[in-house]
Amino acid sequence: MALKCKKCGSEDIINAVITEDTIGEIVAVEYRCRHCENRCVFNLNKDEEEETRRCSEYFDGWMNYILGIDPGYANVGWAVISQRHEHVELVASGVIKTDAGMEEMHRYRVIDRNVWGIVSHYEPNIAVIEGLPPNKHQNKQTEIAGARGVILDVLAFWDIRCNGITLVEISPTEVKKLITGKGQASKEKIGEYVKLLLGLDEPLKPDHASDAAACALAYLIKEGVLK
């Protein structure tokens, strides 16, 4: 069993800070409970086998929060997935929309603020963003590239502020191939596999949110976490 919050008993703990002695052995772990915001310190007694076992189980049971992003100018799909070992679960998902009547900089500002709100609320430690789609019109490519730049800037700032987010880029073709086994799969087929992998009763909607979840799941498949 993984370590639990000393205040509420939750195992959903994040932002671990490890203290080592002069020879590099772990002597303490400080972490924060996502459930009650309590900060806990676990002091490792190196002389007791039980304490060593518990510390090892803590790291073995670490939970990842993966933010998948389907970037766009009018619609930015996002999905947060929790993962511990081979168990994955959808935490939240949605779409950031920008109105075509807005000025360009205002639309990018909407994306910036909403992405910041998502990462600051869910505190993902991994972010997977889809690369530029092939065969798009030049204007569309430019718009999506601009949105991706805004999103990457937010993630970079979050990384600096919170000291640790793994940023992964994955191409649309690779997402399709990893999820369905075919690099030219339809959105409907991707949605079916996302539903299956996440154990959902219905396909995830809207499609942009499903595509974002597919990015996160494709990363886990590529890493060998999911089969």
| Among 101, 63, 88, residue whose Cα is nearest residue 214 | 88
Calpha distance 100→95 (Å, rounded): 15
State whether residue 62 is helix, strand or coil. coil
Whether the pLDDT of residue 41 is over 80: the answer is: no
Asked if residue 41 and residue 9 are part of one domain, the reply reads yes
Count of positions (residues) in the chain: 227
Asked if residue 84 and residue 44 are part of one domain, the reply reads no
Identify the CATH number of the domain in which residue 91 sits.
3.30.420.10
Q: What is the pLDDT of residue 55?
A: 46
Asked if residue 113 and residue 31 are part of one domain, the reply reads no
Task: Please count the CA atoms within 13 angstroms of the CA of 226 that sit on its side-chain side.
Answer: 23
Whether the pLDDT of residue 153 is over 70: the answer is: yes
State the pTM of this model. Answer: 0.73
pLDDT band at 45 (very low <50, low <70, confident <90, very high): low
Domain extent for 126: 63-223
The set of catalytic residues is 70, 130, 208
Calpha distance 45→28 (Å, rounded): 8
